[in-house]
Chain A
Amino acid sequence: MARPPIDKDTTSEVVRQFGARAEMLVQILQAIVMRHGWIPEATIRQLADELNLSRADVYGVVNYYHDFRTEAPGNHIVKICQAEACQAMGSRELTEHARQSLGTEMHGTADDITLEPVYCLGNCACAPAVMIDGKTHGRVTDGRLDGLLAAIKDAR
């Protein structure tokens, strides 16, 4: 399930969907990231053109928000909650386990899987919580995480 590569026409289409309104920049970027996973430099230039903003404006917004990656991630994204409620239930240890079993540091990619921190998934009564490719999982143990990671690998 590879993400579609980003192209100019799709970006223009997204801009049109949001009425080419500059105040929708965060929404436009979010739509692009959800579809393609990241925001390339060329897209920043294109958005500046089409929304009549400066490149600095668009770059500033891209750079500000954690969701807007400027490098292509792996096709699968594993986010582990690092916030307090999950810490209280062992998320630090779970993160360490994930780093070792995936063989990558936070923000790194190994075997097409990108590991990222997230600060709260709102699943604090089922801590620790993990989000894999947009789906939230609760009460995640090392073993359950291994199973979820194996399922990603089995699926391809």
Chain B
Amino acid sequence: MATSRIFVPRETSAVSVGADEVALEIAREAKRIKTSIQIVRNGSWGATWLEPLVEVEVDGARIAYGNVAPSDVAALFDAGFIEGGQHERRLGRVDEIPYLANQERWTFWRCGLIEPLSLDDFLRHQGFKALQKAFSLGPGAVIEKVVESGLRGRGGAGFPTGIKWRTVSEAAGDQKYVACNADEGDSGTFSDRMLMEGDPLGLIESMAIAGFAVGASKGYIYLRSEYPLTLSILTRALDIARDGGWLGSNIQGSGFDFDIELHLGAGSYVCGEETAMLESLEGKKGIVRYKPPLPAHEGLFGKPTVVNNVVTLASVANIVNLGGDRYASMGVNRSKGTLAFQLAGNIKRGGLVETGFGVTLRALIDDWGGGTASGRPVKAVQVGGPLGAYITAEQLDIKLDYEAFVDIGAMIGHGGIVVFDDTTNMAQQARFAMEFCAIESCGKCTPCRIGSTRGVEVIDRIIAGENREENYDLLLELCDTMEDASLCAMGGMTPYPVRSVLQNFAEDFASSGDDR
């Protein structure tokens, strides 16, 4: 019998719930019963609730077994799982699992499918085809494709990527840079991480395309230190790309030089803000810069710099391959294309869902997510990380669209969706928003640095029932000051979650009393 290929993800979430132990046990059991297998450590498909998700290749199809524990392994072999045998963990073909089959995968299409650290596997799955195509199109045509796609920054700000690239390409400068923001600090988000772990060469390819388009010979990836497994995968992927001649000087004889330096963050949330990240890349405190000048004009070391989020960059390869118009045909209004939504917190089927904009929050939470993990009613949903508003259960029919969210005082941000059930005390969540801002503020501007601490104090007084109405007004006024006068989104948007709690869950302030 031919050697069976068995896929066990090497991805942070899968590993965090035992994927390494499962892989080890499969190898041990196969050896014990003298069966020849090959274990492939793929990325995750993003159906995180099924992790560890083990797949077996049978006649070209990949049969999935979900939530496999090391203790299941012997029974799986007994059930003949390497030929796709029946077992209670068996889920059928992985590409027919509704959670995955119903997605529109544009950016994450290789995640789960390929072996992330195999250059051959990457090349077999269209790897570096877009870069080669970019070389033949020329920089201007690549930028036009990105403009045409309508792609906007997926880190949270939603700025049109093509316009940013055009600005950098037109900026005067002997040296330009591409800086990839992989400082994914928003709670409820993990799409950057999944992409870097599941398709690191895909990110490298897209960064090279960006460099080629704007005339940059050097790229940086600023990766947060909380992602040690990502660090090890990405470091290896960079070596593989260099060894294969896909990074370095005169890439594949094109005359284009490009290399990437990987930098680690050091636990500062605000370094996810683009100018703070540039400061940190320069070896300094991650303190926000005044804008203007824009990084596109004066960025890293004062040179014109494209700063893009991981998912933004990784979306580009297929835009070059398949066309900007095709990307723009997905989504709604000015929110073109797809977003990799991340279902997190108190949700039954948490994971990554890449689909076109315009899907409703309810569809994501109920149809994909299956409701809360606790089985209790949804009380609130925080979209867009710690600076995003808390949305009520009554508002879930809203469509995921940048502008529609702005209209209700919310934001989509990086696409993280954190679900809370009805046992949540929302006053504590409002307090946490201010507390987090106080912990993470870079300290440059007063509204953020001082306002956040005062915010915690005022909320504590409201919770304690001290001059409740007066303090309530004071808190609203403080929110206005922070929003209007802070230098960046840290202080400027911390009021969003706070205000949303005041508006939609005021009863939690009244009832919290001496609860805690």
Contacts and interface: CB of A to CB of B under 8 A. Distances in A.
B13 A125 contact: yes
A24 B262 CA distance: 11
25 contacts: A23-B283, A25-B283, A26-B263, A26-B264, A26-B266, A61-B283, A61-B285, A65-B266, A84-B187, A84-B188, A86-B187, A88-B345, A88-B418, A88-B420, A121-B226, A122-B184, A122-B227, A123-B13, A123-B16, A124-B188, A125-B49, A125-B352, A127-B344, A138-B13, A138-B17
Contact of B226 (A21, A64, A122): A122
Interface string A62-105: 00111110000000000001011111110000000000000000
Nearest to A64: B285
Given A120-B185, A121-B12, 8 more contacts: A30-B266, A33-B266, A61-B285, A64-B286, A67-B266, A85-B344, A124-B188, A124-B418
A6 interface: no
Task: Give 8 nearest A-B pairs by CB, closest first.
Answer: A125-B350, A83-B187, A88-B345, A124-B344, A66-B267, A138-B16, A65-B266, A125-B48
A52 interface: no
A83 B386 contact: yes
Interface string A109-139: 0000000001111111111010100111111
Given A30-B264, A120-B187, A124-B190, A25 B284 contact: yes
B501 to A, nearest CB: 12
Contact of B12 (A84, A127, A136): A136
A125 B351 contact: yes
A65 B424 CA distance: 31
B189 interface: yes
Kindly name the residue among B49, B225, B420 whose own CB sees the greatest number of chain A CB atoms within 10 A: B225
Kindly name the residue among B16, B190, B280 whose own CB sees the greatest number of chain A CB atoms within 10 A: B16
B413 interface: no
A22 interface: yes
B229 interface: yes
Contacts of B187: 81, 83-86, 119-120, 124
A67 B228 CA distance: 13
Contact of A26 (B280, B343, B373): B280
Nearest to B420: A88
B115 interface: no
A22 B318 CA distance: 38
Nearest to B381: A88
Contacts of A23: 281-283, 301
B179 to A, nearest CB: 13
A84 B418 contact: yes
Interface string B357-395: 000000000000000010000000010001000000000
A10 interface: no
B177 interface: no
Contacts of B416: 85, 124
Nearest to B300: A23
Interface residues of A, number: 43
A137 B20 CA distance: 12
Contacts of B347: 125
A131 B226 contact: yes
A27 interface: yes
B350 A30 contact: no
A29 interface: yes
A61 B421 CA distance: 40
Contacts of A134: 228
Interface in B148-203: 184-190, 193
A5 interface: no
B440 interface: yes
Contacts of B432: 84, 87
Contacts of A60: 285
B51 interface: yes
Contact of B284 (A61, A89, A124, A129): A61
A68 to B, nearest CB: 6
Contacts of A81: 187
Contacts of B287: 64
Contacts of A24: 283
A136 to B, nearest CB: 5
Contact of B229 (A25, A85, A127, A136): A136
Given A30-B264, A83-B187, A88 B285 contact: no
Interface string A19-59: 00111111101100100000000000000000000000000
A148 B440 CA distance: 29
A126 B188 contact: no
A25 B386 CA distance: 29
B15 A125 contact: no
A122 B189 contact: yes
Nearest to B516: A92
A35 to B, nearest CB: 13
Contacts of A64: 268, 285-287, 442
A86 B15 CA distance: 18
Contacts of A86: 187, 345
A3 B331 CA distance: 51
Contacts of B264: 26-27, 30
A124 B189 contact: yes
B269 interface: yes
B266 A126 contact: no
Kindly name the residue among B187, B264, B286 whose own CB sees the greatest number of chain A CB atoms within 10 A: B187
A83 B435 CA distance: 11
B500 interface: no
Contacts of B420: 88
Interface in B329-346: 342-346
Nearest to A22: B283
B143 interface: no
B228 A119 contact: no
Contacts of B286: 64-65
Interface in A132-156: 134-139
Contacts of A85: 187-188, 344-345, 416, 418
A65 B226 CA distance: 13
A119 to B, nearest CB: 6
A24 to B, nearest CB: 6
